[in-house]
Amino acid sequence: MSQDTVRVVIVDDQALMRAGFRALLDAEEGIEVVGEAADGRQGVELARRHTPDVALIDVQMPVMTGIEATREIAADPRLAGVHVVILTNYGLDEYVFDALRAGAAGFLLKDTEPAELLQAIKVAARGDALLSPAITRRLIGEFVARPPDRTTAPGLEILTRREREVTALAARGLSNEEIAAHMVVSPFTAKTHISRAMIKLGARDRAQLVVFAYEAGLVEPRRR
C-alpha cells in the first residue's frame, strides 16, 4: 500500500449503502476502505482500531447517532488525525450545524456525484475544510440565524487582531485567496493566520472556525 493511500472507514446502518460506497472507493486508486460498521458505537470502535484518515459516518443510526460518534472521535486525542465526514440524505438540515459543532470536518449528501465524493474524501484527508466557500455560505444562511452560544465558545482574547479578522472572513465563506485579497496579504500569510487561530482554538479544521466565529459572536448571522 502506498504511503499516500487515503484510508477510509464507512459507518452506515444500511448495508446496501455501505456496499455502494465501498465499491466506489475501492475502485479508486489511492483510496482504501479499511472497515465498515453498522452503527455509531461500532464506528467509534472501528476508528480506534484502524485510525483511518477519513471516517464517512451517517448522521442517523441506531445505538449511537453519527453526531454522537463524531463527538467521541473528536474528543479522543489518539484519533486527532481522523477526519469525520457526515453523510446525510437531507441536505442542509438541522443536523449539519450540530455535526460541525461536534467536530465533523464537513458533510456530504448521499446522492453526491461519485467524482465529488472521491474528491471530498481526498480534501478531508489532507485536513482541509470539506465545506467549499459556496457550501459554507449556504450553511451560514440556513443554520446560523440563531443567537450565538457564547457560553461555550473560547474567549476571543486568545486570538490576535489578525487572527480574529481571518476567522471572521472564513466564517463568511471566503477562500484563502479571497481572504488574502481582502487583507492585502499573500495567500500563504492568510493561511498561516488561519492555522494559528485553529491551533489556539483547538479547532480540528477550518469548518470548526465557522462554528467558533458564530458562537463567539465574532460575526453575526443575517436575519431573514
Cell numbers for 190 = 492568510
Q: What is the pLDDT of residue 110?
A: 81
The model carries a pTM of 0.71
Nearest 5°: phi and psi at 102? -75, -20
- pLDDT bin (cut points 50, 70, 90) of residue 198 is confident
CA distance 56 to 36: 10
- Continuous segment of H or E residues that includes residue 134: helix 133-143
Q: What is the pLDDT of residue 193?
A: 92
CB 49 within 8 A of CB 24: no
CB 187 within 8 A of CB 180: yes
pLDDT at 90 over 70: no
| Sign of the dihedral through C-alpha 140, 145, 146, 150 | positive
Cell 467549499 -> residue: 132
What's the CA angle centered on 221, arms 198 and 144, to 5 degrees? 70
Q: Mean pLDDT across the chain, nearest whole number?
A: 82
CA distance 190 to 181: 9
CA distance 163 to 26: 40
The answer for 32, left when phi > 0, alpha when psi is -120 to 50, beta otherwise, is beta
Q: How many CA atoms lie within 13 A of 165 on its CB side?
A: 16
- pLDDT bin (cut points 50, 70, 90) of residue 6 is very high
pLDDT tens profile 15-56: 999 999 999 999 999 999 999 999 999 999 999 999 999 999
pLDDT tens profile 127-171: 766 555 455 556 655 555 555 455 455 567 889 999 999 988 887
135 compared with 204, residue with greater pLDDT? 204
- pLDDT bin (cut points 50, 70, 90) of residue 1 is very low
CA distance 27 to 36: 16
Cell numbers for 212 = 467558533
Cell numbers for 72 = 467521541
